[in-house]
Amino acid sequence: MPSLIDRILEGREIQQRRPWPRAVVGAHLWKFVANELAQGRLSLLGLWGEPSTVHMAIMDEDTAEIATVSLDCPGHSYASIGRHHPPALRLERAIDDLFGVSAEGLPDTRPWLDHNCWGVRFPLGDRIDALSKPVPYRFLPVEGDGLHQIAVGPVHAGIIEPGHFRFTANGETVVRLEERLGYTHKGVEGLMTGASLERAVQLAGRVSGDSTVAYAYAFSRAAEAALELVVPDRAVWLRALLAELERLANHLGDIGAICNDASFTLMHAHCSVLRESVLRAANAAFGHRLMRDIIVPGGVTHDLSDEGKDIIQAALDNIRLRFPALVELYDNTASLQDRTVNTGVLKPALANQYAAGGYIGRASGRAFDARRAFAYPPYDCLRFEVPVLSEGDVNARVWIRVREVEQSLSLIDQILDRLPEGPSATPAGHRRAAREGMAIVEGFRGDVLVWLRLREGRVERCHLRDPSWFQWPLLEAVIEDNIVADFPLCNKSFNCSYSGHDL
């Protein structure tokens, strides 16, 4: 029996196949896909615009098949997906802000990224003058006795990124949280247009600093798919090493920071030391603590020396020695468990509906991990488990990270052990005709998607979709009926990216 994706693409002209098919569809099929998404038979991976086109990446979770469907919208409008499938709502609001292409029937037409500060509307579309009089942003109404509102941000109390949270509480209990994001919007996709590959990969690595490796990795893989470029084996393996080091450092930092938000600073202090040891090893081995600008189309810019290998190995040995005691400490501290267990529960149904990636999805029963689902090399040759829990609370999100730390340690061991010899890069070169490529890479936070079209060595259009797009809305859901004081815990256990989302 043909798969759902096959049936959608049947008889359509395939515009590209690198590595997944993309086809232009009509309004009828577009609506059919919307319905399949709403029924839960497909997952939404991304929805992005061009001046008169919208693209939607979808996945069949059972078979890990992916396709992109594109709809021409010369009239600058298309049938809303978000109307049937809420995960698309903010993406459609963003497309309207950036391109002036609007979703017909969209239930929420407030701007999202556009705060009326740019001096221009539709900056990637028709570029018309901004509204002369700013329209105040209307938060959703909340009615009832004894409710009060708490407005937080964009400048927060901690050392974190800017965003606004509007809480409505009844006493201590949160009855609604509404997020307002977009403060860190830098116009990355605008800067990408016309950029050389060198500049574009640099920009990609600055979409979300904590995932600089994952973004450069995804961008490079997409560019290589477009150019049909074969990357030397050694670079393929080094990239996975970089990705696992990034995952390790971030998870260690997060585990400590979550406990810190429950005022358990001992864990934070010890986890920070371990995180720092990873960053120092990365600096010694690759010349940059966050491993920025190492992955580029064609390979990596910094090869690993034997000495670098030893330094990484030593850092790993130290973590293996110290981490188990911290896990035990977490597990055996009742006052800490009291804060994390049953707090901020994300129901599996919601995680599935939003196709939530990373530890958020995996703590709520969604067993998706791009490394396993797509088995891109070298992960097809590596042994690892994808930990999954179903409780969906803060505690579960901590445990997924703990297990993933262990998996990353094992993966790094395997990589160092089997690292092939040979060159670590090949020249990227370029092609005259337009070429498209797409890639999905598992970052520490979830799956990062990059789609791009190159022409004569330059980027014609590039879209980068952070996993946070499908995680932020869920934070609004999990905080409901929790107390205000547990918000930091819920928020840190999600650790969504503001910059990656705002782009």
Partner 1 sequence: MRKLLFESLFRRPFTEQAPSSDDTAVAELATAVGRAARRRLGRSLSIREVDAGSCNGCELEIHALNSAYYDVERFGLRFVASPRHADVLMVTGPVTKNMREALERTYHATPNPKWVIAVGDCARDGGCFAGSYAVVGGVSEVIPVDLHISGCPPAPTAMLRGLLALLERVDAGAVVP
Q: Which residues bind partner 1 (CB under 8 A)?
A: 115, 117-120, 123, 154-155, 157-162, 182-188, 190-191, 199, 202-203, 206-210, 212, 253, 266, 269-270, 272-273, 275-276, 279, 283, 289-290, 292, 325-326, 329, 332-333, 497-499, 502
Q: Closer to partner 1 at the Cβ: 120 or 381?
A: 120
Q: What is the distance between the alpha carbons of residues 35 and 102, in angstroms, rounded to a whole number?
A: 19
Q: One-letter amino acid identity for 220?
A: S
Q: What is the distance between the alpha carbons of residues 462 and 452, in angstroms, rounded to a whole number?
A: 4
At its nearest, how many Å lie between partner 1 and the CB of residue 295? 15
Question: Whose CA is closest to 472, among 374, 372, 353, 354?
Answer: 354
Q: Closer to partner 1 at the Cβ: 135 or 159?
A: 159
At its nearest, how many Å lie between partner 1 and the CB of residue 60? 33
Q: What is the distance between the alpha carbons of residues 419 and 57, in angstroms, rounded to a whole number?
A: 34
Q: What is the distance between the alpha carbons of residues 79 and 101, in angstroms, rounded to a whole number?
A: 11
- Cα separations (Å) of 215 from 150, 196, 297, 372, 429? 35, 17, 12, 18, 21
- Cα separations (Å) of 266 from 251, 263, 325, 491? 16, 9, 12, 20
At its nearest, how many Å lie between partner 1 and the CB of residue 120? 6
Token digits for 141? Answer: 């109404």
Q: Closer to partner 1 at the Cβ: 14 or 325?
A: 325
Q: Closer to partner 1 at the Cβ: 153 or 357?
A: 153
At its nearest, how many Å lie between partner 1 and the CB of residue 188? 8
At its nearest, how many Å lie between partner 1 and the CB of residue 490? 19
Residue 129 β-bridge partners:
120
Contact call for residues 294 and 204 (beta carbons, < 8 A): no
Residue 240 β-bridge partners:
none
Contact call for residues 37 and 14 (beta carbons, < 8 A): no
At its nearest, how many Å lie between partner 1 and the CB of residue 25? 31
Q: Closer to partner 1 at the Cβ: 53 or 333?
A: 333
For 119, residues 6+ apart whose C-beta sits below 8 A from its C-beta are 130
Could you list the beta-strand ranges (E) of 164-252. Answer: 164-170, 173-180
Token digits for 406? Answer: 């262990």
At its nearest, how many Å lie between partner 1 and the CB of residue 318? 12
Give me the long-range contacts of 119-127 (CB less than 8 A, separation at least 24): 122/97, 122/98, 123/98, 123/187, 123/190, 124/49, 124/51, 124/98, 124/99, 124/189, 124/190, 124/193, 125/49, 125/51, 125/76, 125/98, 125/99, 125/100, 125/101, 126/51, 126/100
At its nearest, how many Å lie between partner 1 and the CB of residue 500? 8
Residue 78 β-bridge partners:
103
At its nearest, how many Å lie between partner 1 and the CB of residue 251? 13
Cα angle, residue 162 at apex, residues 159 and 167 outer, rounded to 5°? 105
Question: Whose CA is closest to 362, among 335, 413, 330, 397?
Answer: 397
At its nearest, how many Å lie between partner 1 and the CB of residue 259? 12
Q: Closer to partner 1 at the Cβ: 28 or 138?
A: 138
Q: Closer to partner 1 at the Cβ: 76 or 199?
A: 199
Token digits for 335? Answer: 């006052």
Q: Closer to partner 1 at the Cβ: 292 or 430?
A: 292
Q: Closer to partner 1 at the Cβ: 92 or 97?
A: 97
Contact call for residues 216 and 296 (beta carbons, < 8 A): yes
Backbone dihedral region for residue 256 (phi beyond 0: left; psi -120 to 50: alpha; all else: beta)? alpha
At its nearest, how many Å lie between partner 1 and the CB of residue 264? 10
Backbone dihedral region for residue 496 (phi beyond 0: left; psi -120 to 50: alpha; all else: beta)? beta
For 59, residues 6+ apart whose C-beta sits below 8 A from its C-beta are 42, 43, 45, 65, 66, 355
At its nearest, how many Å lie between partner 1 and the CB of residue 145? 32
Contact call for residues 221 and 452 (beta carbons, < 8 A): no
At its nearest, how many Å lie between partner 1 and the CB of residue 67? 31
